[in-house]
Structure 1
Amino acid sequence: MIDFIAPVAAWCAAIIESIGIGIITLFALYALYNAVTRALKKEESDSIFDELRQLLGRGILLGLEFLIASDIIYTVAVQLTFETIGVLAIVVLIRTFLSLTLEVEMSGKWPWQNNK
């Protein structure tokens, strides 16, 4: 049974990782396209820049969530050792820190603060 689960989990992790990379790429391209079209319409540059950062930040956050999920699946189902769990913990901490700082950068407040 384990001989069947590991390859399936590896494929699932690869698919989810590809989705994460695709999301980041598509959001980056869309944000850039949106900024260029708005700049050609002579809109205010501060507004364009703010929206570009917001769109790109959202794409990175969403993509990071998929990348974390793929790392968890791969580590738990394919290579479950103390070493890989330690590496996974470090990767998840780094990506969580990135997500947290991106959220603060985009919203201007900590995620647990009220929306007041």
Structure 2
Amino acid sequence: MEFGQIITRAGEVIDVIGVIAIVVGVLYAMVDAAIRRIRHLGPVYERFRRVLGRGILIGLELLVAADIIRTVAVTPTLESVGVLGLIVLIRTFLSWSLAVEVTGRWPWQRPPTAADDGVDVDGAGRAAAPSR
């Protein structure tokens, strides 16, 4: 088997893994929501969206990786690189949109810490000793 065929096959395998990740994420989110609803374990909808979004994000990242492998590693042409750029742009926008839905903040924003509540926090996220 030629190197190009191996790379193409690797991209296809990662594509399948990406689709499986999305399907597993959807199924897990549905089962989790059903269990939480039956047992009355708090808000179901918000958690369902967060869990579902995470599954889709993982799948999208794998699909982008597969596209990059197939396009860049196997004799890239200007057209194939352009198509890859468009695909990556669309999937990146989707990933950022999902990240905002899941976390409630843009990917480049730092998560809220105890320091935001007026507590001194060291670089590791622990409450820092008072300075003298």
> TM-score by structure 1 length?
0.90
For 1:80-99, list aligned pairs within 5 A.
80-99=76-95
Following superposition, the deviation at residue 79 of structure 1 comes to 5.0
Moved over 2 A (4+): none
Query: Which amino acid is 2:100 matched to?
Result: V
Structure 1, unpaired ranges of 5+: none
Q: Please say if residues 14 and 63 of structure 2, whose CA atoms lie closer than 8 Å, have aligned partners that are also in contact.
A: yes
Q: CA separation in 1, counterparts of 2:104 and 2:95? A: 13
Aligned residue pair count = 112
Larger radius of gyration: 2
Q: CA separation in 2, counterparts of 1:25 and 1:76? A: 27
SS, match of residue 19 in structure 2 = helix
Q: Which of 15-24 and 106-115 deviates more?
A: 106-115
Following superposition, the deviation at residue 84 of structure 1 comes to 0.6
**Residue 74 of structure 1 pairs with residue 56 of structure 2:** no
**Residue 110 of structure 1 pairs with residue 106 of structure 2:** yes
Q: CA separation in 2, counterparts of 1:111 and 1:30? A: 24
Q: Please say if residues 50 and 101 of structure 2, whose CA atoms lie closer than 8 Å, have aligned partners that are also in contact.
A: no
2:51 corresponding residue in structure 1:
55
Following superposition, the deviation at residue 114 of structure 1 comes to 2.1
Structure 2, unpaired ranges of 5+: 113-132
What is the RMSD of the two structures over their aligned residues, measured on CA atoms?
1.3
Q: Which of 78-87 and 21-30 deviates more?
A: 78-87
Write out per-residue CA displacement over residues 60-81 of structure 1, whole angstroms, 9 at most, x where no aligned residue: 1111110000000111123511
> TM-score by structure 2 length?
0.80
Q: Which has more helix, going by share of residues?
A: 1
Q: Please say if residues 5 and 77 of structure 1, whose CA atoms lie closer than 8 Å, have aligned partners that are also in contact.
A: no
Identity %: 44
Q: CA separation in 2, counterparts of 1:10 and 1:113? A: 36
Following superposition, the deviation at residue 40 of structure 1 comes to 1.6
**Residue 15 of structure 1 pairs with residue 8 of structure 2:** no
Q: CA separation in 1, counterparts of 2:81 and 2:97? A: 24
